[in-house]
Amino acid sequence: MRALVYRGPEDIRCETVPDPTPPDVNGVVVKIERAAICGSDLHIYHGDLSPEQGYSVGHEAIGEIVEVGSGVCRFRSGDRVLISGVVGCGECIRCRHGEVTACERDTARVFGTNQGLGGAQAEAIAVPMADAALHRIPEGVSPDQAVLLTDILPTGYRGAEGAEIQPGQDVAVVGCGPVGLMAILSAQLFGPARVFALDSVPERLAAAEGIGAIPCNIVSGGAEAVLAATSGLGVHAVIEAVGADASILSALNLVRRGGIVSVVGVSTNMALPFPMALALIKGITFRIGICPVPRFWTQLIPLVAEGRLKPEFVFTHRMGLSEGESAYALFAERRDGVLKIMLDPTR
């Protein structure tokens, strides 16, 4: 089969790789219908995560089950499913409640990151512990919406939930890429008075404004504008959706005393110069972590199916799997107004 393979920094290729098989009796093979490129995939693309090469990438996908292990109870061949971007042991109490990133056996892994799981930007993928890692795609949920439910919509929602937003509060979202836009949509469910959206890319700021946020260009005084709009106090909560040192530090500066900073951006810096004195003086709450995707399906799927959440606007480009190299370059360079790219494994 074909899959996108990491061959080194800024070198993603569409290659022929071995066909997947069920990893054990509790696993399945899913034929991929649609896959997407995530902002966190750029950490791999730029060579920031691992010196290893030659593994397939991607963790956002939906598809049809084509092989089923004998121990799988909830699914059968022919089911169309969401695939959680992150999986755990599937058996401990935390995994059974969807908290896969807190797996008590410490087995949480992300697809397509060289952790022993194949990537989802492929024609097919092997999924372990299928009963815990999959969800049938229900009526009323489109393929575009379903793909977003495999990672970035739950991640944005996790950021909003972690911010503990109360009705009438002011919120800032730092970074208006796809995850940041999902965080804006999610934050609005909690009734904030204002959501400020900070970024430097005009197309992203326009998208944020289009869903009801107040755009603030960080290159031309956006952070200062947020502080001025809040009488110098800062916002009650900040959702950070980039993971860069500068954006995390900006979030800490934007939050008011007693506020909350909720980080869902992926930071790989083990030596972040965290301003502990500032955090101490402000008395802030700081949260960060990888999203346990399955935990949020029971909340988000009904909201999507009933039209309360309409996240699919983030897809601006559609390309074939064979165009994977060009797709990654386009996404990394933020050209042509790109927000998010959908990949079709049949092309």
pLDDT tens, position by position, 255-273: 999 999 999 998 888 888 8
Across the chain, mean pLDDT equals 95
Residues of the chain with CATH 3.90.180.10: 2-151+293-344
Mapped onto helix, strand or coil, the DSSP state of residue 306 is coil
Q: Domain 153-288 carries which CATH code?
A: 3.40.50.720
Asked whether the predicted pLDDT for residue 27 surpasses 90, the reply is yes
Taken as a whole, the chain contains a residue count of 347
**H-state helical runs in the chain:** 41-45, 93-96, 130-133, 143-148, 152-162, 178-188, 202-210, 222-229, 245-254, 276-282, 297-305, 324-333
Which ranges in the chain are annotated with CATH 3.40.50.720?
153-288
Q: Provide the phi-psi class of 13: left if phi over 0, else alpha when psi is between -120 and 50, else beta.
A: beta
Is residue 51 pLDDT above 80, yes or no?
Answer: no
* Mean pLDDT value across residues 149-169: 97
Give yes or no for residue 120 having a pLDDT over 90. Answer: yes
Query: What Rg, from alpha-carbon coordinates, does the chain have?
Result: 20
290-331 confidence digits (pLDDT tens): 999 999 999 999 999 999 999 999 999 999 999 999 999 999
Q: Report if pTM > 0.85.
A: yes
What percent of the chain lies above the pLDDT cut of 70?
A: 100
CA–CA separation, 244 and 240 (whole Å): 9
pLDDT-based confidence at residue 115 (cuts at 50, 70, 90):
confident
Question: Could you tell me the pLDDT band of residue 50, with boundaries at 50, 70 and 90?
Answer: confident
The predicted structure's pLDDT at residue 136: 97
Kindly tell me if the per-residue pLDDT of 240 is higher than 90: yes
Residue 219 is predicted with a pLDDT of 92
Scored b (16 or more CB within 10 A) or e, 145-167 reads bbbbbbbbbbbbbbbbbbbebee
Q: What 8-state DSSP symbol labels residue 46?
A: T
Please name the fold of domain 2-151+293-344.
Quinone Oxidoreductase; Chain A, domain 1 (3.90.180)
Which pLDDT score, from 0 to 100, does residue 77 have?
A: 96
Tell me: pLDDT of 49 over 80. no
Contacts of 104 by beta carbon, 8 Å cutoff, 6+ apart: 89, 92, 93, 94, 95
pLDDT mean over 154-172: 97
DSSP labels, 68-83: E-TT--S--TT-EEEE
